[in-house]
Structure 1
């Protein structure tokens, strides 16, 4: 007599509940740029979505709490002269987001501005072609990675606006994706040449390489697992979706999963991306032990965007097996510490009391003061139009006035946003 043993899942009593219409985002014109990107990024405060924009690139930032129909005149983050191809929220500051087209970092206010955001905190210039991938270091403050169509991977110190490292002569063709390992000591990349590479960025060398982890001709993607293994997605020769889990030490197959493009979340679920028959982007959250529990959300042109809300087991006790400690906002390293060779695991926080947003921390970019440079000897073009009595103290006074005016404008924008929120609450209460 045989006995079948079924492995129990700690998520077996957790089910997704579809959200109501007023908890979705509607009327968002998602970008139609053909690039292998998720087109959106989310953190505990905001969701950012790359949208259509005339005369350049743009993305929209929406507070998580303000769902419903999005005003067609809602302010955008603009300033790119080419389409935005990727966006990524800073893991150590919920108000800082990087966008890829040119490498640009933006400071997003907690309140909704009344006009488009057009001035980035810092613009990073180093790629010779457009940038399609951007990713923050998981543990080091202000370290940002970008990969471009020039086959280069560049690492930046956003706090100074300086280039830290350039990884060149490692990829022979277009880079499809780049991912950090848990402590940010290694990178995994996939390339059009059908190779998966593991790179030590500080040594600037490839430490492991796998050719054709999937036999299909379509793009391959890869990420690091928490235990150091590498998870890949790709296609077979018959264009069937495939997933693979690889042992880094031997770079040999460790385990297989059924076809679907996906990544693992920190909680052990599988997060999938795909397309419906109507060519809408489709998201799924799955339990690899039992069955799908998270349902799906849709990200498409002029369609609602939503994610299911999980319903945990009814209990008054905090269940740390369902809600394990997760990386918090505090970085474990400074940029110069990481560059010098130091590694550190993410600083974890408990979710026992829920997520408590910290006070908005301004990103300050410290660059060399150009006023400290001595002017070149000899006459300069246009010198006759300058006021010889306009000294450096006078210039600093003008700059201080400009800064004060900007602060006044920002304060007024916040006041207007607060009044609009109160008016909206009053209107909803009287309907």
Structure 2
């Protein structure tokens, strides 16, 4: 019986579609380092790629509009003395990026004005870091910017610590000590809590400014890496990992609860790590398998992950990145866009779209997105301030005007179709909305019923008046309905 029930959801028919080759990025030298990282990061302007380069570590930055084959020689972001393991874009400045490397250093970079890969120089000039943060004694495997505070960066290293940095001053502000290697980390939306998974199979939620864990519990029991992602503005986070039998699992957690909500859910028996990504606009969780070409996506409803669908591809991915919501194509009803690596030489965008034929902005699937303005400065965050950054109304992006800033708790006005059942019309929509319920109300259906009853009465009246001569056809049709004749007799007649 459960299979017959269809759950109502705006995102139930979301589907992923690949991009034509001319709009992909080819001739790349993606790093072949075995460190468990996503290899690529993206924002609405640029794509960063861990590069396979000799003579120290480097990564490349590709402007998103420069699709197609990348030149053989391009300007690289050089400065590390060992392989670059991870990068992360500043959420409030699309031209600032941080990198972590095997040399134990964290570097801050700025993309030059008018940066392009297509230069006339025989040997393009490399880009150098604007700031160097030294403090880790082992390789830095992950870097992650705070999603609410300006210039606050977290870095996780092989010295079993997570350091917090104010990149404006170059100083380390906080230190989180772990018992083993940190495998992944994720901020909550206000940037006050940080969740980490580590090789000791423990999951910890840190009150960062107090440098103490407020939650610590056993995680996935398998020996392979575990990943975590905070679910935006919800007081929940998700983890992916492996069971003792090497089955891939997913789990939903609430800080303070020692056990996952609903237990550990088995996905499959594939050996690749699942890379989780959260979309706060649609309340959807995307799981991309490392080493396979599939991307599953789930909707978070009633403290459960409801499976929506799966994007399948014959081309496996080693790394993948998801674009911030302010960079999606609202004209095509695109709710998410991913960039996946293919064969270490190719990056392919994948667009996740809600199939609708509409000529107007779809406010129900495009709630406001986080913009470029932070909620607080670095010093205010250090002093204990909390808050969510302002958002931008995606309708202004749809109309092509300057992005309209709205409060963090802003709720968009529903479309007339969505507002029809309401008792009062939604504000700011004028007069058309109150008329919408009238068009779908009782009067039209009553007219239809009256017309039907009138025609039926006239039909019977004609039959009584005309007797058998004028209504022989009608009489035969009523006879067939009440007492079907044999096929042979009907043919003879």
Relative to the length of structure 1, the TM-score reads: 0.76
Supply the RMSD in Å over aligned alpha carbons: 2.4
String of CA shifts for 1:343-366, please: whole Å, max 9, x gaps: 11122111113288999xxxxxxx
Taking the aligned partners of 1:117 and 1:144, their CA distance within structure 2 comes to 24
- 3-state SS of paired residue (2:22): helix
TM-aligned CA deviation for residue 331 of structure 1: 0.5
TM-aligned CA deviation for residue 274 of structure 1: 2.0
TM-aligned CA deviation for residue 2 of structure 1: 9.8
Equivalent residue for 2:271? none
Q: 2:209 aligns with which of 202, 218, 237?
A: 202
Quick one: structure 1 residues 37 and 116, their matched pair in 2 at CA, closer, same or farther if it must change by over 3 Å? farther
Equivalent residue for 1:269? 284
Equivalent residue for 1:137? 146
Q: Find out whether 1:239 has 2:246 as its counterpart.
A: yes
Kept in 2, the 8 Å contact 1:28–1:301? The answer is no
Q: Which runs of 4+ in 1 moved over 6 A?
A: 355-359
Larger RCO, structure (CA 8 Å, separation 6 or more): 1
- Unaligned 5+ segments in structure 2 are 269-273, 300-305, 314-338, 404-493
Taking the aligned partners of 1:13 and 1:316, their CA distance within structure 2 comes to 19
String of CA shifts for 1:19-74, please: whole Å, max 9, x gaps: 11101111111101111100000000011110101011111111111111111201
TM-aligned CA deviation for residue 294 of structure 1: 4.8
Quick one: structure 1 residues 179 and 79, their matched pair in 2 at CA, closer, same or farther if it must change by over 3 Å? same
Taking the aligned partners of 2:266 and 2:363, their CA distance within structure 1 comes to 29
- 3-state SS of paired residue (1:307): strand
Q: Find out whether 1:218 has 2:233 as its counterpart.
A: no
TM-aligned CA deviation for residue 305 of structure 1: 1.4
Equivalent residue for 1:112? 116
Aligned positions of 1:331-346 closer than 5 A: 331-346=374-389
- 3-state SS of paired residue (2:381): helix
Quick one: structure 1 residues 112 and 294, their matched pair in 2 at CA, closer, same or farther if it must change by over 3 Å? same
Quick one: structure 1 residues 69 and 198, their matched pair in 2 at CA, closer, same or farther if it must change by over 3 Å? same
String of CA shifts for 1:363-388, please: whole Å, max 9, x gaps: xxxxxxxxxxxxxxxxxxxxxxxxxx
Taking the aligned partners of 1:193 and 1:224, their CA distance within structure 2 comes to 20
TM-aligned CA deviation for residue 328 of structure 1: 0.7
Taking the aligned partners of 1:81 and 1:151, their CA distance within structure 2 comes to 21
Kept in 1, the 8 Å contact 2:294–2:310? The answer is no
- Unaligned 5+ segments in structure 1 are 360-431
- 3-state SS of paired residue (2:61): strand
| Structure label with greater radius of gyration | 2
Kept in 1, the 8 Å contact 2:150–2:376? The answer is yes
TM-aligned CA deviation for residue 270 of structure 1: 2.7
Kept in 2, the 8 Å contact 1:295–1:308? The answer is no
Quick one: structure 1 residues 230 and 18, their matched pair in 2 at CA, closer, same or farther if it must change by over 3 Å? closer
Counting matched residue pairs gives 352
String of CA shifts for 1:119-146, please: whole Å, max 9, x gaps: 2111111111121110101111111111
Q: Find out whether 1:292 has 2:292 as its counterpart.
A: no
- 3-state SS of paired residue (1:184): coil
Taking the aligned partners of 2:352 and 2:261, their CA distance within structure 1 comes to 31
TM-aligned CA deviation for residue 218 of structure 1: 1.0
Taking the aligned partners of 1:290 and 1:148, their CA distance within structure 2 comes to 34
